[in-house]
Structure 1
Amino acid sequence: MGAQDAVDEFESGVLAVNAPLAAVHAAWEVAGDARMRARVRARLPSWPGVTSASARKRAAQEAEITAVLDEYAASALDLIRPADQERWLALVADRQRRSGEGVLVDELGRSAVGASSLREKLGGRPHRGPRRRGVACECGYAVDGVLPARLCDECEELLLRRWVAEERRLLRGMPAYAAEVVEVIAAVAQRQTKVFQSRGDDLDAEAFGKRKAGGRRLARLGRRYRAELDAADLRRWSSFIEPLSHASTTSMRSIVVKVHRRGLGAAALTELAVRADAESIAAFVEYTEKRARSRWRI
């Protein structure tokens, strides 16, 4: 029996003999479907980033599904025998290990029996890498969920996409706060781009300074919107900070450490660090090409 089949069979068995849980599960199928339909119509906050439109769309879908699964768990856990929940978590962990689908630790790890089938009904699909076997992980995190000293590129990019998507989802429910966060991020992105269009000895450090300044502006916004932040469930958003502090990319690791306490917008600033790396390389290539053309004319 495959790992997926084992989870599905166990869930079906529990739901078949636990009528109250089955009723809650059925209700969340309806409520979750309505949430997913509403998500398609809603506009998420937008800012400059590095994620493709298709990857951003998928990450947004995953963020909404995970939020539904968290809420399902809150209403279902009291109806589940502890032994059944423990067995289900073990099966999910085994499925993660055997399939290389490391996102399960995020999507299902905080939920409850029935979440796997609910996830599928809401549009969740197995992740497939180049070899069609889950996340193309080289650090082990996607396989066993154990945080390594340094994440591989694939896990690092996946976690950042999911952090940004969760941030957008949270801000969608706070439009005034979101508008000001978007303004800060757009301004930082513009200033960062101008840095790499200029000449200087250490453009990377200058760009880092722009992001730090943006972080301070986000902190001030966080204090102004403290009531909204206190009312929001930031557990999933916060869960990405520790693994991303193990990023192999120095710029990402540095900015996560600096800005994660600044509140919402920190994920967007971290994405700008990745954008800065690309802009830095492009600026260097342009500079060397100009030098080469100049020498050729001489």
Structure 2
Amino acid sequence: MSVTPLSLPGTRGRLTHNAPLAPRAWFRSGGPAEALFTPEDADDLAAALRALPRGTPVTLLGACSNVIIRDGGIAGLVIRLARGFSGIDVEADGIVAGAAALDMTLAEHAAAAGLDGLSFLAGIPGSVGGAVVMNAGAYGSDTAAVLDWAEIMLPDGSIRRLDNAALGFSYRHSALPDGAIVLRARFRARKGDPDVIRTHIADIRAARDASQPTRSRTGGSTFANPDGHKAWELIDAAGCRGLRIGDAQVSEKHCNFLLNLGAATSAQLEDLGETVRARVKARSGVALRWEIKRLGNPA
């Protein structure tokens, strides 16, 4: 990390140096951000990007639900989108939501408005920006199936709107330009019965609570499902259910989830994931791909 504290002249948001990130991460582990900036709005975000010294690394954090922040922390500028990027506007046949809006909140707004087709978002523990970046999906649908467009900011502070095709969606992936930051997105929906939609959301919540360790320190699905396989079945067949390294454990309830039982370091969580990958590869020949993003530097 640099010796001279980073400054962002001309910005209005909050800039904090050596900012702890573990309390924000769902795993509750990891080192600090060299500098953490929370912009007020899109104009403020653009001003920050333009004020950055050339070559400064930039990392965007959303809900921190699907990341391992390494123990050495994150160098450069970490940007966290908050209140100024969480608006939700309901339209006749869809919803426009800010990148910081939670997927669950979007699903609930859709239900209240009698808009069907977005209930699956209630089963995704993250934010709209992350859903676009990762083409998040669950319970029979994904972001690519319902997204009309996403508004993004490029590293020079300019804004572009990309339609669904331009985002190049594939399984748990989108082809955003390098360094792009999702600002907001539009999701299309169809008219439906609000009570039926609310019941569907309740069923999704119940199914998720029954099958996943939702009340634990976890990061969601650890590995993407390989073609023709389910990651959890491969992990279970390799004998990894309940496997531990220190306080890092493969969930016994759903073995595609890693848990922090209390004092696990990010290094232990990542080592455990790599151990699982090695055992699955040795038994089945299948190479699991990390779905969780691993950010920052080792301790």
Task: Tell me the TM-score normalised to structure 2 length.
Answer: 0.25
Higher helix share: 1
Higher strand share: 2
Structure with max Cα Rg: 1
